[in-house]
């Protein structure tokens, strides 16, 4: 079938007869079966178009005879995963928080689920590592406004703080300055006294004047010793943790303008199992009581 082709002088092998600027190509024939493999691949591709989703349309696409859908596969996997988690979900729903914490399997499950739920719902205010920020409590330390026991945490999560829930935890730090309840010199003296409670550097004379002011205006909520009361969410003023800053100007500002952060109500927004998982997870961050 083939006409005689020129022979390459160096190798003694014939060339394809093609020439590019004096460069010729040795004829190294492809095996015939390789060509058939190419045709088989073409046939395979056509078959693939028919049975699998292939061609895009304007509003839809060809779905293929086998009805395969990656989204359906994902949905099936999610359903299967939920089914596989079912026994843990049920166990978490039935158990009280202390039991969950004592059962290694459930603890692993709740901590894994709690970590994800925390990242989704809580991290925007409390930080990815629960380290908090100015006005947003650090959940990994050992200082708690409304209590750091498992049930306290779960309750705070469920009803929120100063939130829309009628049972929500609530209390108000008065605006002593804005509402003219105290004179600026009195505020200054009270702030110096507060500084003295945590052994921070302070003006002893002013603090002495502030002591009576504290007893009259602050002790009802913060306690006569300044250690705070968790049933009203009043912070402990004697420790090293300051939600709104521990410098004098921070404390003066808190007294002048009042404080009152809001925590959303998660009951009804998150299912009870997720709230339990979050409570156990937050408790495990290092500060749980």
Partner 1 sequence: MTLNTANPTVAIPERIDVAPVNKADGRDLYAKRKKIYPKLAFGKFRLIKWMVMAVTLGIYYAVPWIRWPRGAGLPDQAILADIINGRIFIGPIEIWPQEFYIVTGLLVLGAMALFLVTALAGRVWCGYACPQTVWTDLMIAVERFWQGDRNARIKLDAAPWTGHKLFLKTATHISWLLISIATGGAFVFYFRDAPTLMAEFVTFTAPLDAWLFLGIFTATTYLLGGLAREQVCTYMCPWPRIQGAMFDADSFLVSYRPHRGEPRGAHKKGDPWDFRGDCIDCNQCVAVCPMGIDIRDGAQLECIQCALCIDACNNVMDKVGRPNLLIAYDTFHNLDAVAKGTNVRIRIMRPRTVLYSSLIVLLCGLVLFALLARSDVSVALEPDRNPLFVRLSDNSIRNGYTIKILNKKQEPRHYALSLDGLPGGSMAILGQEGDPHALIVDPADTLVALRVYITVPPLALKQMTGHESHFDFVLTDITDGSITRHAAVFRRPQP
Q: Decide: 256 and 175 in contact? Cβ < 8 Å.
A: yes
- The DSSP code sequence of 103-167 is -HHHHHHHHHHHHHHHHHHTHHHH-TTS--BTTB--SSSS--SS--SHHHHHHHHHH-BSSSSTT
Strand partners, 14: 7
**Helices assigned H by DSSP within 218-268:** 219-222, 248-257
* Both structure tokens of 116: 């994800």
Q: Which is nearer to partner 1, 267 or 287 (CB)?
A: 287
Does 11 interact with partner 1 (rule: CB under 8 A)? Answer: yes
Q: How far apart are CA 133 and CA 16, in angstroms?
A: 76
Integer angstrom CA distances of residue 65 from 48, 52, 54, 199:
10, 7, 11, 77
Candidate residues 16, 99, 120, 212; the one interacting with partner 1 per rule CB under 8 A: 16
- Which single residue is written with the structure tokens 């060809």? 62
Candidate residues 110, 138, 156, 265; the one interacting with partner 1 per rule CB under 8 A: 138
Integer angstrom CA distances of residue 288 from 22, 53, 95, 235, 284:
83, 52, 19, 17, 6
- Which single residue is written with the structure tokens 């049933």? 231
- Show the binding pattern over residues 44-83: x = contacts partner 1 (CB under 8 A), - = does not: ----------------------------------------
* Both structure tokens of 13: 């092998």
- Show the binding pattern over residues 230-269: x = contacts partner 1 (CB under 8 A), - = does not: ------x--xxx----------------------------
Piece of the chain touching partner 1 by CB under 8 A; list 88-96, 151-159, 260-268, 279-287: 279-287
Number of residues that bind partner 1 (CB under 8 A): 37
Candidate residues 135, 268, 272, 286; the one interacting with partner 1 per rule CB under 8 A: 286
Piece of the chain touching partner 1 by CB under 8 A; list 21-29, 55-63, 165-173, 268-276: 21-29
Identify residues 96-135 at the interface with partner 1 (CB under 8 A): 101, 104, 107, 127-131
Identify residues 146-205 at the interface with partner 1 (CB under 8 A): none
Task: Name the residues that contact partner 1, by CB under 8 A.
Answer: 1-2, 7, 11-14, 16, 27-35, 101, 104, 107, 127-131, 138, 140-143, 236, 239-241, 284, 286-287
């Amino acid at each position: 079938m083939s006409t005689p082709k020129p022979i390459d002088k160096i190798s003694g092998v014939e060339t394809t007869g093609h020439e590019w600027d004096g460069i010729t190509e040795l004829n190294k024939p492809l095996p015939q079966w390789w060509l058939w493999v190419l045709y088989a691949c073409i046939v395979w591709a056509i078959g693939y178009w028919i049975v699998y989703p292939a061609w895009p349309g304007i509003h839809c696409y060809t779905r293929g005879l086998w009805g395969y859908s990656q989204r359906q596969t994902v949905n099936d996997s999610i359903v299967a995963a939920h089914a596989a988690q079912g026994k843990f979900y049920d166990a978490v729903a039935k158990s009280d928080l202390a039991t969950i914490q004592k059962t290694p399997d459930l603890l692993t499950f709740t901590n894994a689920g709690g970590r994800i739920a925390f990242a989704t719902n809580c991290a925007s205010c409390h930080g990815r590592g629960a380290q908090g920020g100015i006005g947003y409590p650090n959940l990994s330390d050992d200082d708690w406004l409304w209590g750091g026991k498992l049930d306290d945490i779960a309750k705070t999560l469920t009803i929120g703080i100063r939130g829309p829930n009628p049972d929500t935890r609530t209390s108000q730090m008065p605006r002593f300055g804005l509402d003219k309840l105290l004179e600026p010199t009195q505020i200054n003296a009270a702030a110096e006294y507060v500084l003295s409670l945590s052994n921070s550097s302070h003006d002893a004379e002013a603090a002495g004047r502030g002591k009576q002011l504290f007893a009259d205006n602050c002790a009802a909520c913060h306690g006569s010793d300044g250690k705070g009361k968790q049933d009203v969410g009043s912070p402990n003023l004697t420790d090293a943790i300051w939600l709104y800053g521990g410098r004098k100007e921070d404390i003066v500002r808190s007294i002048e303008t009042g404080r009152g952060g809001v925590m959303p109500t998660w009951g009804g927004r998150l299912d009870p199992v997720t709230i339990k998982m979050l409570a156990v997870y937050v408790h495990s961050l290092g500060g749980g009581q």
